[in-house]
Structure 1
Amino acid sequence: MTSTDTLGTSAAQARGAELEQLIRKDPGQFRVLTGDRPTGRLHLGHYFGTLHNRVRLQDLGVETFVLIPDYQVLTDRDVAEHLQEYVAELVLDHLAIGIDPDRSTIFTHSAVPALNQLLLPFLSLVSVAELNRNPTVKDEIAHSRQSAVSGLMLTYPVHQAADILSVKANLVPVGQDQLPHLEITRTVARRFNDRYGRGTEVFPQPEALLSDAPLLLGTDGTKMSKSRGNSIALSATADETARLIRGARTDAERRITYDPAGRPEVSSLVLLAALCEGTDPHTVAGEIGDGGAAVLKKRVTEAVNTHLAPIRARRTAYERDRQVVRDVLRAGNARVNALADATLQDVRAAMNADY
């Protein structure tokens, strides 16, 4: 692993290419942690942005942990609404897309007490000034639902450090906006090793596997988001999907082109069709040509529904027996509790606090 102290975008991109080669050569040297907060149903933006990459890494043989950080729903909310429902939905979505609980581990934050015990010593390694100037936190505070955010928001990056380091993950797939969070994790790992390691590495400094995932816009032309009500959920029916795509924003120009900068709404629909069909967006646009928005939306609807059909079929099968969700979480939580307990014991021993 690289020993660089910072994770600039260009450096992360260059390192990402090297990491991909290393993964293919020896996937067993990596342990990945990734996840999503249970705040609503996962959608096509999640799928093409991160979810399919989790399945790819799993299938390559990388040890993969999928965290459902249920406690962290409170980061920008007063209460955690519909929590059990949303946790179950996330598990079903992951099973439906191909996450195999025999090869990957799905677990919930709240079920791992040792993970949260790591937060206190980790917070002692980061200054208030460092937390205050985290650009991702500042942006999240600016867009928070709340008039005044809690201390949980400020310490959110250290919570993520506890998530990652509790299982000693050394690889974290992230988008560019998450690099500052991962830098906090690397800082925590490095400082703990320096302060308490006595020449040994208690924690790895996890590296970023920077995503080059395409940005899909929501049906209103803004970023696809669970909270904005502009997304197409993976669990939507074929008819619901068709209705949502029919209502998607386009523009007045009849000829369809792929121009993300000049025609973002049209181009996002073209891209969605191309991703589902496994082809190039310029090819899709050229084939539609002067067909206009109606032909474009028909093409997108058919492509999305065809691509999601096997995923929806698997999801329906899993939904018939919700015990599957409970069994997957019970097994995942048990495994991570064992790992996190061992990590906490390593921390206590390093700090001479293993009474």
Structure 2
Amino acid sequence: MTTLAPASPSTDALGTAAARTRGAALEERILENPGRFRVLTGDRPTGRLHLGHYFGTLHNRVRLQDLGVELFVIIADYQVLTDRDVADRLTEHVEELVLDHLAVGVDPERSTVFTHSAVPALNQLLLPFLSLVSVAELNRNPTVKDEIAHSRQSAVSGLMFTYPVHQAADILFCKADLVPVGQDQLPHLEITRTVARRFNDRYGSGGSVFPEPEALLSEAPLLLGTDGTKMSKSRGNALTLAADADETARLIKGAKTDSERHIAYDPAGRPEVSSLLLLAGLCQGRTPEEVAADIGSAGSAALKRTVTESVNEYLAPIRSRRAEYARDRSYLRRILREGNERARAVADATLAEVRAAMNSHY
């Protein structure tokens, strides 16, 4: 594993500037020797993935896999137990998530796709890791605060409160040294780095049991949903990878724009129009300004027509692969069984090392 030296303290609250500086150096090292790195990434199975996920994270996972980076993809089914509606349909949601990953190009022969609940040794790491983090530190975590604020629940469960430490176990069980994240996930990763550092200091006997993983900060732009707010599974405003061409056309036709006829890329002044231009540009491999220049004064109807054609053309091969994989659900379960077996072997070895370091290997 390759671990970079810790950066100097960042001047911004989330450490974004420092993460971007380290990220540029990381990209160079990945290209030089991708096989030296291990990545942990994944999703909670709360619904089908959409274009925001694709351009935000999924295509980068496939890029890293294809470069030769060792990729672990976790389906964090334990982390949705706080949502009763999702938990009641958990098997369906897990399989849909596997389908989305296969469709975009994640190769289970080269990458390990597994579920939280199937790897007991991973979850057992939560207990010693919790002993290394204070309640005050969890209280200060801004991502936990946001999760609690948007949970729509009358009480906060212990599972939700300890989510950052559980995520540390996700990352450290396989000794991942790279974690692709968005800016809002940096505080979670900092908790992971803190846990790794404190465990090494307390139990490492002068050595390092765990690497301090680095953030590979996403440069993906924010895509708005059809209602002009952030594209989200829970808001019903997303263009999912599984949607067919007609549904996509219907959703884009109803997307929020503005009253100006001339189409221009202006993210600050015209966010909804600009997001549609950006989406078309991403699908066409062009800049949003170039797409806007082609449309000119043809108005919102022409913009939506362009976006619909671009999205449907781009997603056609992904949707075709998804439909093919969906015909054989037994194949999805076999992928999970094999991925779970590989993840369990890695987690068992890590837990044995942790027990030895803690003098609890009886």
> What TM-score does the superposition give when structure 1 sets the normalisation length?
0.98
Unpaired runs of at least 5, structure 2? none
- Quick check: 2:86–2:93 contact (8 Å CA) kept in 1? no
The 5 A counterparts of 1:209-228 are 209-228=216-235
Matched, 1:205 2:212: yes
The 5 A counterparts of 1:1-355 are 1-4=3-6, 8-75=15-82, 80-355=87-362
Unpaired runs of at least 5, structure 1? none
Q: Cα distance, 1:295 vs. partner?
A: 0.2
Comparing 2-11 with 138-147, greater Cα deviation is found at: 2-11
SS of alignment partner, residue 297 of structure 2: helix
1:159-216 per-residue CA deviation (whole Å, 9 max, x = no partner) reads 0000000111110000000000000000000000000000111000000000010100
Using the alignment, how far apart are the partners of 2:174 and 2:270 within structure 1? 44
Q: Cα distance, 1:151 vs. partner?
A: 1.2
Using the alignment, how far apart are the partners of 1:81 and 1:176 within structure 2? 31
SS of alignment partner, residue 213 of structure 1: coil
Q: Cα distance, 1:4 vs. partner?
A: 1.8
Using the alignment, how far apart are the partners of 1:251 and 1:76 within structure 2? 36
- Quick check: 1:256–1:288 contact (8 Å CA) kept in 2? yes
Query: Percent identity of the aligned residues?
Result: 76
Using the alignment, how far apart are the partners of 2:245 and 2:26 within structure 1? 38
- Quick check: 1:76–1:153 contact (8 Å CA) kept in 2? no
SS of alignment partner, residue 290 of structure 1: coil
Question: What amino acid is the match of 2:182?
Answer: G
User: Aligned pairs, how many?
Assistant: 355
- Quick check: 2:258–2:272 contact (8 Å CA) kept in 1? yes
Q: Cα distance, 1:77 vs. partner?
A: 5.2
What CA RMSD, in Å, does the superposition of the two structures yield over aligned residues?
Answer: 1.1
Q: Detail structure 1 runs of 4+ shifted over 4 Å in the superposition.
A: 75-79
Q: Cα distance, 1:10 vs. partner?
A: 0.5
Question: What amino acid is the match of 2:5?
Answer: S
SS of alignment partner, residue 227 of structure 1: helix
Q: Cα distance, 1:149 vs. partner?
A: 1.3
Q: Cα distance, 1:148 vs. partner?
A: 1.5
- Quick check: 1:77–1:146 contact (8 Å CA) kept in 2? no
1:204-232 per-residue CA deviation (whole Å, 9 max, x = no partner) reads 00000000101000000000000000001
Using the alignment, how far apart are the partners of 1:103 and 1:46 within structure 2? 21
> What TM-score does the superposition give when structure 2 sets the normalisation length?
0.96
